[in-house]
Amino acid sequence: MDGGESAHCRYHNEESARWHCPPCDLYLCQLCKPKAAQLPMDVTCPLCDEPMRDLAIGELFWITPHKHLSYPLAPNLLIFIATLTLIGMLAPAGLMLLVFVVVAFLACTWIGLHVFRTSSQGQTNAPAASALANIKTLGSFKPFLGATMILLGLVAAGWWLVPFLFAPLLTLLVAALLPASLMMVAITGSLKAAFDFEGLYQLAQRLGMAYIVLAALVLFLILTPATVLVPLTAVTPEWLHRGLLILLQTYAAILIFRFTGVALFQHQRILGHDTNLAPGQSMDLPEPDDYEPELALSTAIIQSKEGLVKEARWTLGQMLTRHPNHPELNKQFEQLLIDENEYKELTSHINRRLKKLAADRDQEKTVETWMRVKPTLGKWLPASGSDRHWLGYALAEEGQEREGLRVLLSLPKDHPKYQRLSEACTTASNIMEKSLGDNAGAEKLREVVRKKIRGRHSTPSDFI
């Protein structure tokens, strides 16, 4: 929102901060939280795991409501309030006054629609005169008018018919429903959605405490104009009392639309709605396969930089259970284990990783993974004979013939009963002969196979 805080990311000094964690005094940019701005969920701090403030929306409306009190005093809105007040004071009683009430209600709702729209898009300034005269918004005005007329009509009817019985309850009910109904009309473009009570409840539930405060503000603004003027009823002329009531009610109505629009803007991610889209259109949310690994990687990198290595390992480990094949997640996790000299956990991870890559027949990632961890693992080799067979074959196919040969030649000694040992030795002899030019060694290996392993050499296998 315009007027948001200006700060820079702790880890990208040239980038403006988007998120802030007050307890940790941590500012992060969108590079640190990739795609987070598109997600309908709280962005959590990588250090304390508490929700971070979105600096793009400024202070939450219910923390600093006083900042919005001067909004209706903008020139365009002030002229409208003054004009309405003056006409209301001069309107004669009877039919003309009734016509004025209807026209004033329509005019207030029209102005309210534009106040709501601009506020829900993060604008701090009141709508310009040209925007207020834009008839292209007439389509969205109808459901907006319908929702407002029905709900506020209930309040008016309650105070007129049974002021001391049902009126307070109706006012409380309308204050609870009005913000959610206006938001649902903005999101769906449908009047029917304004009275879908299950949808209204879900919307209010997602906003949580912010919605309770918003409803309380609306209740206060509905009740205040008439309540404030009660002591003046006996001492002011009827026309003056009417004018003051119109002035206060119009001012309060604009504030209701303002607060509701700001609340929608500040919680649009939570609601999964982009206020810049036309009603009925939803946000284009990224797929979990796209954003989950990126967010986890960024979080783990920040945790590592802050010395929270165990937390970084946990972050990556949890995400690897959901995305076991993600190359960058695996690479970062392996590097953390290497940096911390966690040899045992590293070998366990590599065993699992190679088994999965063997099942997927992914030669390139197999070799990339192995060559990255080999300097740390030294002479260690995968525990499974089939995994070694795959590893040796993949290394040879990807241009690492000597390392592939080393892995394959370990099989007769470490796994003499491996069912495909004959095939593995044949592959090794072919590497020696064709890639390394060691014809004598290749023939010697074939002789060993002929003498010590029953049966004939395997024909083409799944690996080839």
126 near 134, Cβ under 8 Å?
no
Q: What angle, rounded to 10 degrees, do the helices at 238-266 and 167-188 form?
A: 50
Kindly report the pTM of this predicted structure.
0.64
Structure token pair of residue 242: 């009417």
Q: Which stretches of 123-259 are assigned E, i.e. beta strand?
A: none
Local structure of 27: helix, strand or coil: strand
What is the pLDDT at residue 281? 56
Angstrom CA distances, 127 to 134, 190, 287, 460, stand at: 11, 23, 36, 75
What is the pLDDT at residue 458? 41
pLDDT string in tens for the chain (464-residue length): 444 456 899 999 999 999 899 899 999 999 999 888 777 777 889 999 998 888 877 777 767 777 788 899 999 999 999 999 999 999 888 888 889 989 999 999 999 999 999 888 888 888 888 888 888 778 888 899 999 998 888 777 777 776 666 778 888 889 999 999 999 998 888 899 999 999 999 999 988 888 999 999 999 998 888 888 888 888 889 889 999 999 999 999 999 999 999 888 888 877 776 665 556 555 566 677 778 899 999 999 999 999 999 999 999 999 999 998 898 999 999 999 999 899 999 999 999 999 999 988 999 999 999 999 999 988 899 988 999 899 999 999 898 988 988 998 888 888 888 888 888 888 888 888 888 887 887 788 777 777 665 444 443 333 33
Nearest to 269 by CA among 36, 3, 19, 16: 36
What is the pLDDT at residue 459? 37
CA distance 393 to 16: 49
257 near 115, Cβ under 8 Å?
yes
Residue with tokens 């009734």: 98
What is the pLDDT at residue 278? 57
The DSSP string of 31-46 is TTSTTGGGSSSPPBPT
Structure token pair of residue 49: 């795991």
397 near 369, Cβ under 8 Å?
no
CA distance 411 to 413: 5
What is the pLDDT at residue 229? 87
Structure token pair of residue 426: 């044949």
Residue with tokens 């109505």: 253
